[in-house]
Amino acid sequence: MTSALDRLDKKTRRAAESNLASDENVITILGGRSKQAMIVTNRQILIVKAGLMSGAGLGAKAASFSFADIAAIHVHTGPGIAALEVVVVGSRRSEKPDLRAAYQLPNWLPCHPRVGTWPLISELRAYVQSGGRSRSARAALDDSY
C-alpha cells in the first residue's frame, strides 16, 4: 500500500515521516517549489523544506503548527510566484512580505502562482479554523490529491 507521502521528494518525505505521529492521518499535501511541501493532517500543518533553496543545505527541515496555534492562512502573490503563509497566533505581521524569503521562512510555502486562485484555499482555511473537525472541508481536501 502506498502512502500519500510517496509522491514527495525523498528528503522531504523522510523529514515528513519523522515529524508525523504513527496514528496521524494525512488529509492533503500541497506541493511547493524546490522540494517543499505543506502536509495537512488531522492534527496539524507541517511544512517541510529540503535542499539548498530552503537553507537546509543537503538536509531538510520541518516546522509544525497545531490548529490551535494558527490564526490564519494567507496567500501572497507576485510576478511568477505565490506563497502560502501560516500565520501563528501572536506573531508580528510584516509590512510588506518579501516572496523571495518564502523559500526559507519556516511558516511559508512558495508555490506556483495559480495557488492564489485555487478554490480549495477556503476549504483549507475552514478545516484549520474548525480544528480539523469540519467534515465538508476535510472531504473537499481529501478529494484534492
Task: Render pLDDT for 133-143 as a digit per residue (tens, 0 to 9).
Answer: 999 998 988 86
pLDDT for the residue 54: 58
Task: Render pLDDT for 59-99 as a digit per residue (tens, 0 to 9).
Answer: 788 999 999 999 999 999 888 889 999 999 987 766 667 78
H or E element, residue 86: strand 81-88
- For the stretch 33-38, contacts whose Cβ atoms lie closer than 8 Å and that sit 24 or more positions apart, written own/partner, are 33/81, 33/103, 33/110, 33/111, 33/112, 34/103, 34/110, 35/9, 35/11, 35/60, 36/12, 36/103, 36/109, 36/110, 37/8, 37/12, 37/109, 38/84, 38/86, 38/109
Task: Render pLDDT for 10-34 as a digit per residue (tens, 0 to 9).
Answer: 989 999 999 999 999 999 999 898 8
* Domains of the chain, CATH where assigned: 4-142 (2.30.29)
Question: Is this structure's pTM higher than 0.75?
Answer: yes
